[in-house]
Structure 1
């Protein structure tokens, strides 16, 4: 699992409506963040890519397992170090996990 259900319960104080609101905000913002990441990658703008990865990492902090958080943190570091070949090799797996996270969060909101 990508989603850290216990963390979500803790930050929402075990209030389902608050959890749904937090999840909703994240799900609305995620496409924008991913778009920024993909645009920065397409033009090889390592600085913008690192900033967008940082934004993603910050947004994920409330929802994901520590392992996935570290994976995104490594992407940010890779972009900051301008190792875009390495970054591009890792991104598809991370993107797939983001899709899985999105599905898990949608299920939590039902």
Structure 2
């Protein structure tokens, strides 16, 4: 029995590619969501884009809108389920551009 938790060997192959860009196809609907929200003028639509002066930094409203649209298109109605999916779903990782320790680098 081992006394400590040990990680995998660095030479061990993983299922994740080096960049999330490789995991999301060019025809994936998540790219349409991203392009659609980026084309919107969120300030004109009433979104508050100014960051708060105090407290923990919040998420950008565009990112939250992308995640909610993704949830509606995929029948994920619960914010708790969306949170869980954001940690394990490659498409949502691509939307938020982070996969655990792997940063999406253009």
Q: Determine if the TM-score, normalized by the shorter chain, exceeds 0.5.
A: no
Query: Considering only CA atoms, is the larger Rg found in Structure 1 or Structure 2?
Result: 2
TM-score (norm. length: structure 2): 0.28
- Name the one with the larger helix percent: 1
